[in-house]
Chain A
Amino acid sequence: MTTLARGLSPVREELENGVVLLAQQTSAAPAVTIHARILAGCLHEPARPGLAYLTAKLLDRGTALRPADRMAVELEDRGVALKVRASRHAISLTATCLAEDLPQIVTIVADVLRAPSFPAEQLHRRRGELITGLRQDDDNPFLRAGDALVRLLYGADHPYGRPLKGTVASLSRIERQELVDYHARRFRPSTVTLAIVGDVAPADAAALVEREFGSWQADAPDEAAMPGPPAPPTRQMAHLSMPGKAQADIAYGFTSVSRLDPRYYAYWMMNIILGEFGLGGRLAANIRERQGMAYYACSSLDAALGEGALIVRAGVDPRNVERALAAIDAEVGALGRWGPTTDELEETRQFLIGSVPRFFETNQGIAAFLQSAEYFGLGLDYDRRLPHLLEAVTRADVAAAAGEVLRPDAAAVVVAGPAEAAS
């Protein structure tokens, strides 16, 4: 019986062509999760918003060997569905299968990554679905406020500021050949990392990966440079009027630090204190618990390759927008000015260190952790080093991080909701 009582024990193998495998055996269920990550996200697409997203949608819709129908049969007869998603930095493919089906599923995953055929009729269908999806998003105040906020923070040309899903206009213009070219340029052995986690011995997983990916030959592509964020702004406000909505959604934020920045751990703890601990840190304690104004009030930190955003979110009665913004300003300003209390710092530290075993409750969780550790070069023993990294953070570190970023006079603010909220 495999147990994770002493943490992870992942095996890392790199094929000669550069494909990386991260394998971890677990025993909770006779199932295996495959998580492939390809460096082909928004960051890597040419000036064609939505190209990475459309590529992801079409990736498992037919290959040279397997027309879409046949692929669906081979997967679905085994109860498997591939999930392919584009993000700012990568396209990821995840699938969970019974352990006994793993060899066939690895074969299909390799086919999908190496030889998608982007059939014209599939492009036509999927493009139509995505455009309908964009229209649905247009009616969602939460999404619209978030999109508008990153545009304010980064500008429409930055990979963090432009719309991941593209626009109706940009999607409509993408030609099939652009997908073929994008795949050929970005899907190379050196851009692919596979995590295979579950009821399979790492050596068996490695043999499968060697069999299916070993013959793949292509040079490493040129890497795109991550542009920095624009100069720190003064306070910016935007209102999006959405008639008929019952609630107004607020998005309020700043650019922060890269995941690779040494200050990252202090920023992480600072954000937990501001808007994650319990129901949503100081923000929820004020806006939800003391004032009863919102069902959700919280913050998130998206430190990534570039200087990702720290974003405060709250959904409030349209009549309470000003009160809620005042409360956000007050909490952001107070943490920025005075830093956390010693108690807050210690409970946050206990929470994060105590949470590490929980990151590994599911195969998907382990696979995501291993992928992130590989991407940021954190090492195979990162789960064991992480508690020490968190132990080392001082109150002064967190106060400094808060002082750098939490400045209400530099926040970008978007309110999406009915007319009275936008007035």
Chain B
Amino acid sequence: MCPLEAAVNTSFRRAVLDNGLTVLVQEVVSAPLVSVWCWYRVGSRDEVPGMTGASHWVEHMNFKGTERIPRDQMKGLIERLGGMWNGYTWIDQTAYLETAGRDALDHLLFVEAQRMASGLYDPTECEAERTVIISELQGGENDPDQVLDTEVTATAFRAHPYRHPTIGWLDDLQAMTRDDLYEHYRRFYIPNNAALVVVGDVEADDVLRRVERHFGAIPPGPPPRRVSCAEPRQLGERRVLVERPGTAAYLKVVYHAPAVTDADFFPLLVLDAVLTGAKGLSLWSSFRGALPQRRSRVYRELVERGLASSISGALLPTIDPFLYTLSLTPTDGVTLEVLESEAFAVLEKLRTDGVEAAEVQRAQRQLRARLVFESDSVTNIAHQLGYFETVAGPGFYRQLRDRIDRVTPDQVWDVARRRLASDYRTVGWFRPEAFAR
């Protein structure tokens, strides 16, 4: 049995309209619902200095009125259909979604077509949103874990635009203008830079006809050139210490990770499962709920020995090489020095002795199960189809299980030896000021 195939049952269609819009349709008839996701190949990695946060701000503006949907009706339009909506911006991509009863499909496509081509960007609205976004940034700054994550990421990258946070730097948010935002919107929000995903109790041919009707007349634009550069090889460990008022300490250790299409990605994914338990591959759903981590090495060595109160690992599928992150919280009374050296000892042991076949098999079983768990609803299936289309290319999603299955213990050991070397890591400490010397 192949659970993933059973999960994404019945028919799948992929089409490209004349204007370049990629359309993915998956019929899933388990509930009378439809989920529509529109993906754009633009994220914070497409922002130059001075413009950081533009992609995320543009996402906010795309809920603030279009030529045919007045601003005060944009939020509420989907609710009146009993639907939910949301959007997110991340380093490689921006996505918008609605899930509602299947009869709402035309309305959902209309909203996405308006969003693609007809945003208003009223200057007053842009100004009002500036302070909303600054408030969002300040909310994040209240969380010491997030503060440390931002500092560590900015330290780990010297050149690649993955170094700045998706929300942007405060000074840029204060300085950007309406015209900056509108130019960013027009450059990236074109059909030939987008993928539209429709999953649910629908009929594929009917969906394609409707999509053509709503999107077919939107003209394509010049393919946007994406900001890209190779991060220079790191030559030595980097460290960052954040000392602020607080009540608990936090430790982060990050290593440069491979891109999702790199041959090292899946061995590292299995390695992460061996170290901290399998998370799966969905940014939308995998990180919620309990994870199987009590048999993982870092948990057994650090949590079960009373050194850490919580641990987690994160390897995310990205277009360019991003980061593999270990996050640890010392148990009350344990110093950051001790926790760090014990964490390094766990990694060094694995780099020296390799992994056992049984650990790799467990990790693979966990990852296969999570592929099933994260395709349990039309919204989650649509997310995965669009995500991998956007960051990895056509057909990649279907290969996930196979790529996980093919990983060998030797590949896991090899990737640990090469990629978890101390020269390539950045270590971040958050030390609450009350405890600082």
Mark A residues whose CB is within 8 Å of B.
1-5, 26-31, 68, 72-73, 75-83, 94-98, 100, 124-125, 128-129, 131-133, 135-136, 138-142, 242-247, 249, 277-279, 288-296, 315-317, 347, 350-358, 360-363
The reply on B336 being an interface residue by CB < 8 A is: no
In-complex Cβ contact of A278 among B75, B292, B295, B370 (8 A): B75
Assess the A125–B304 pair: CB atoms within 8 A: yes
* Assembly CA distance A133 to B332 (angstroms): 9
**Judging by beta carbons under 8 Å apart, are B376 and A356 in contact?**
no
Contacts of A28 in B (CB 8 A): 7, 28, 30-31, 375-378
Chain A hits for B58, CB < 8 A = none
Asked if B17 CB lies within 8 Å of chain A CBs, one says no
B residues near A294, Cβ cutoff 8 Å: 132, 135
Interface locus among B46-54, B148-156, B242-250, B255-263: B242-250
Flag if A83 contacts B82 (CB, 8 Å): no
Across-interface contacts of B142 in A (CB, < 8 A): 140-142, 245-247, 249, 315
- Residues of chain B contacted by A353 (CB below 8 angstroms): 82
Interface segment among B219-227, B361-369, B405-413: the answer is: B361-369
B310 contacts chain A at the CB level, 8 A cutoff: yes
Beyond A3-B30, A72-B295, A292-B128, is A317–B138 a contact (Cβ under 8 Å)?
Answer: yes
CB distance from B195 to the nearest CB of A (A): 22
* Of A68, A83, A244, A296, the contact of B289 (CB 8 Å cutoff): A83
B99 CB within 8 Å of chain A:
yes
Cβ of B419: which chain A residues have Cβ within 8 Å of it?
A: none
Query: Can you name 22 A-B residue pairings with CB atoms under 8 Å?
Result: A1-B9, A29-B372, A29-B376, A76-B277, A76-B293, A76-B362, A79-B278, A79-B373, A83-B290, A95-B290, A96-B373, A100-B1, A128-B331, A128-B332, A132-B248, A132-B329, A140-B142, A246-B142, A247-B135, A290-B128, A347-B76, A347-B80
Other-chain residue from A31, A77, A289, A361 in contact with B365 (beta carbon distance below 8 A): A77
Report the bound CA distance from A82 to B376 in whole Å: 18
A141 to B433 Cα, complex, angstroms: 17
Verify if B143 is at the interface (C-beta below 8 Å from A): yes
Decide: A244 and B244 in contact? CB cutoff 8 A: yes
* Residues of B contacting A292 in the complex (Cβ-Cβ under 8 angstroms): 127-132
A76-B294, A278-B76, A295-B132 are known contacts. Are A358 and B84 too (CB-CB below 8 A)? yes
For B32, list chain A residues within 8 Å (CB).
3-5, 357
* A75-B292 CB under 8 A given contacts A128-B306, A128-B309: yes
A124: chain B residues at CB < 8 Å are 306
B83 interface residue, CB < 8 Å from A?
yes
Nearest-Cβ distance from residue A297 to partner chain B, whole angstroms: 10
**Assembled-state Cα–Cα distance A250/B3 (Å):** 46
B314 part of interface (Cβ distance < 8 Å): no
The one of A2, A81, A354 that contacts B292, using a Cβ cutoff of 8 Å = A81
User: Top 5 A-B pairs ranked by shortest CB distance?
Assistant: A354-B82, A79-B369, A244-B245, A278-B75, A83-B290
Interchain nearest-CB distance for A261 vs B (Å): 25
Q: How far is B378's CA from A360's CA once the two chains are assembled, in angstroms? A: 11
Question: Does A351 lie within 8 Å of B135, measured CB to CB?
Answer: no
> Is residue B291 contacting chain A, with contact meaning CB distance below 8 A?
yes
Q: A75-B292, A80-B369 are in contact. Are A357 and B82 (CB under 8 A)?
A: yes
Interface flag for B139 (CB, 8 Å): yes
B144 at the interface (CB under 8 A from A): yes
Name the distance in Å between A80's Cβ and chain B's nearest Cβ.
6
- Whether the pair A363, B376 counts as a contact (CB closer than 8 A) is yes
The reply to whether the CB of B136 lies closer than 8 angstroms to some CB of chain A is yes
Given contacts A3-B30, A125-B304, contact A132 B332 (CB under 8 A): yes
User: Once A and B bind, how many residue pairs between them come within 8 Å at the CB atom?
Assistant: 232
Q: Given the complex, which residues of A lie within 8 Å of B310, measured CB to CB?
A: 129, 132-133
> B31 near A357 (CB under 8 angstroms)?
yes
In the assembled complex, the Cα of A129 lies from the Cα of B307 at a distance in Å of 10
With beta carbons under 8 angstroms apart, the residue of B33, B131, B294, B331 that contacts A361 is B33
Q: Which residues of A contact B246 (CB under 8 A)?
A: 139, 244
- Across the interface, B291 reaches (CB within 8 A) one of A81, A277, A347, A361, namely A81
The answer, yes or no, to whether B133 is at the interface (CB within 8 Å) is yes
Cβ–Cβ contact B7 & A30, under 8 A: yes
- Are A31 and B100 CB-contacts (below 8 A) given A138-B247, A358-B83, A361-B31? no
Instruction: Using known A-B contacts A132-B309, A247-B141, determine if residue A31 contacts B376 with beta carbons closer than 8 Å.
Output: yes
A residues within 8 A CB of B330? 132
Query: Is B79's CB within 8 Å of the partner chain A?
Result: yes
Q: Cβ of B303 < 8 Å from any Cβ of A?
A: yes
Binding site for A on B (CB under 8 A): 1, 3, 6-7, 9, 28-33, 75-76, 79-84, 99-101, 127-139, 141-144, 201, 244-248, 277-278, 289-295, 303-304, 306, 309-310, 329-332, 362, 365-370, 372-373, 375-380, 432-433
Q: A29-B376, A292-B130, A354-B80 are in contact. List 9 more A-B contacts (CB 8 A).
A: A28-B7, A79-B370, A128-B309, A135-B247, A246-B139, A246-B142, A317-B134, A351-B79, A351-B80
Q: How far is the CA of A131 from the CA of B334 in the complex (A)?
A: 13
B332 touches A361 (CB 8 A): no
Contact flag A277-B79 (CB < 8 Å), given A1-B30, A79-B369: yes
Bound Cα distance from A247 to B146, whole angstroms:
14
- Please, which residues of chain B bring their CB within 8 A of the CB of A30? 1, 3, 6-7, 372
Most chain A CB neighbours (cut-off 10 Å) among B81, B99, B292, B370: B292
Using CB atoms, name the residue of chain B closest to A77: B362
Contact of A4 among B30, B135, B144, B331 (CB under 8 A): B30
Cα–Cα distance between A239 and B291 once the two chains are bound (Å): 37
Q: How far is the CA of A98 from the CA of B371 in the complex (A)?
A: 11
Tell me if B31 and A3 are in contact (CB < 8 A): yes
Q: Given A72, A97, A316, A354, which contacts B83 in the complex, CB threshold below 8 Å?
A: A354
Instruction: Please indicate which of the listed interface residues A4, A97, A131, A358 has the most CB atoms of chain B within 10 Å of its own CB.
Output: A358
B29 to A3, Cβ gap below 8 A? yes
Residues of chain B lying within 8 A (CB to CB) of residue A296: 139
Across the interface, name the chain A residue whose C-beta is closest to B35: A361
Question: Which of B1, B129, B142, B303 has the most chain A CB within a 10 Å cutoff?
Answer: B142
Residue among A79, A100, A347, A358 having the largest count of chain B Cβ atoms under 10 Å? A79
Measured CA separation A315–B137 after assembly (Å): 11
Contact for B369 among A78, A128, A141, CB less than 8 A: A78
A358–B84 alpha-carbon span in the complex (Å): 9
* A residues less than 8 Å from B245 (CB atoms): 242-245
Chain B residues whose CB sits within 8 angstroms of the CB of A246 once the complex forms = 137-139, 141-142
Residues of A within 8 A of B201 (CB): 3, 5
CB distance from B32 to the nearest CB of A (A): 5
Complex Cα distance A7/B401, Å? Answer: 33
What A residues does B369 contact at CB under 8 A? 78-80, 97-98
Determine the distance from Cα of A139 to Cα of B332 in the docked complex, in whole angstroms: 14
